[in-house]
Amino acid sequence: MPKPSFALSILFLPFAFHSIQAQGAAQPAETKPGTATVSGRVTMQGEPARGVMVILRHPFPPNSPRATTDENGRFRFTGVAAGRYWISALAPGYTSPNFPDTGGKMLDISEGDKLDNFDLELKRGGVISGRITDSQGCPVIEEIISLSKRDRNNQPQNYSAYSANFDLYRTDDRGVYRIYGLPEGRYLVSVGYAQTLGADRITGRPTFYQRVFYSNATSESEAKLVEVSEGSEATGTDITVSDSKETRDVSGRVVDAVTGQPVADVDVVVQGISSDGTPMGVSYGDRSPAGSDGAFSMFGLAPGKYRLMLSANESKGYFSDPVNVDISESDATGIDIKARKGAASISGVVIIEGTDDPSVLANLSQATVFAYIYLADASLPSPLRAGPFEVKADGSFRISGLQPGKVRLDIGLPKVHLPIARYERNGASGQEEIEIDAR
Looking at the structure, tell me whether residues 133 and 110 fall in a common domain: no
357 and 381 assigned to the same domain: yes
Last residue of a domain, one of 210, 245, 280: 245
The answer to whether residue 30 is domain-embedded is: no
Shared domain check, 187 and 238: yes
Terminal-to-terminal C-alpha distance of the chain: 8
CATH number at residue 280: 2.60.40.10
Residues 130 and 210 in one domain: yes
Say if residues 317 and 371 touch (Cβ distance below 8 Å): no
Whether residues 192 and 255 share a domain: the answer is no
* Domain-ending residue, one of 205, 220, 245: 245
Identify whether 315 is part of a domain: yes
Q: Would you write out the chain's pLDDT as a tens digit for each of its 439 residues?
A: 444 455 545 654 543 322 222 233 333 334 456 889 999 999 998 899 999 999 888 755 456 788 999 999 999 999 988 777 888 888 888 887 655 554 567 788 888 899 998 889 999 999 999 999 999 999 999 999 999 999 888 888 876 654 556 788 999 999 999 999 898 999 999 999 987 776 778 888 999 999 999 999 999 999 999 999 999 999 999 999 999 999 999 999 999 999 999 999 899 999 888 877 777 777 767 889 999 999 999 999 999 999 998 886 656 778 888 899 999 999 999 999 999 887 788 888 888 877 777 767 777 777 888 888 877 665 555 567 777 888 888 888 888 777 778 888 888 776 666 677 778 877 777 667 788 775 5
Query: Would 29 be classed as within a structural domain?
Result: no
| 398 neighbors 317 (Cβ within 8 angstroms) | no
Considering the domain boundaries, does residue 377 fall inside one?
A: yes
- For residues 100 and 177, membership in a common domain is answered with no
- Upstream peptide bond of 215 is cis (omega within 30 degrees of 0): yes
Looking up residue 393, the CATH number of its domain turns out to be 2.60.40
Residues 252 and 331 grouped into a single domain: yes
Domain that holds residue 406: 5-16+343-436
- Same domain for 130 and 240, yes or no, is yes
Output the domain CATH number for residue 232.
Answer: 2.60.40.1120
Within this chain, do residues 306 and 393 fall inside the same structural domain, yes or no?
A: no
| Same domain assignment for residues 362 and 350 | yes
Same domain, 130 and 231: yes
**Residue that is last in its domain, among 315, 341, 367:** 341
In a domain, 26, yes or no: no
Q: How many structural domains is the chain composed of?
A: 4
21 domain-assigned:
no
* 259 and 325 housed in the same domain: yes
